Amino acid sequence: MQLTYKLPIDSLNDTFLETVKKQFVGKEVNITIEEAKETSVISQKQLFAKCQELYTFSHSDFKRIQNHTDLKITIL
């Protein structure tokens, strides 16, 4: 199992460590700490504007999306 946390450095406290320990009871773990990169939030509308094709497993997804896009939609 792999978990990724993105949080302020001040949140690294005993409670955080106990939470991690509970999730990996009896296991050996690797811990890597790196500075988080700035990310921007992209809306679904912006994301769909960049897409050309959409695959879905669900007919309900298709019905919900079909009127909002010109994408080629394939139901698997």
Residue 3 lies in a domain: no
pLDDT band at 57 (very low <50, low <70, confident <90, very high): confident
Sign of the dihedral defined by the CA atoms of residues 9, 11, 13, 19, in that order:
negative
Full domain range(s) for residue 57? 9-75
Per-residue pLDDT, 48? 67
Residue 29 lies in a domain: yes
Residue 2 lies in a domain: no
pLDDT average, residue stretch 61-73: 74
Residue 41 lies in a domain: yes
pLDDT average, residue stretch 28-49: 82
**pTM (2 d.p.):** 0.43
Measuring CA to CA, how many Å separate 26 from each of 20, 21, 33? Answer: 12, 9, 22
Q: How many domains does the chain have?
A: 1
Looking at every residue in the chain, the average pLDDT score rounds to 82
By DSSP bridging, strand 72-75 and strand 53-56 are parallel
Using the CB atoms, write b or e for 17-39: b if 16+ within 10 Å: eeeeeeeeeeeeeeeeeeeeeee
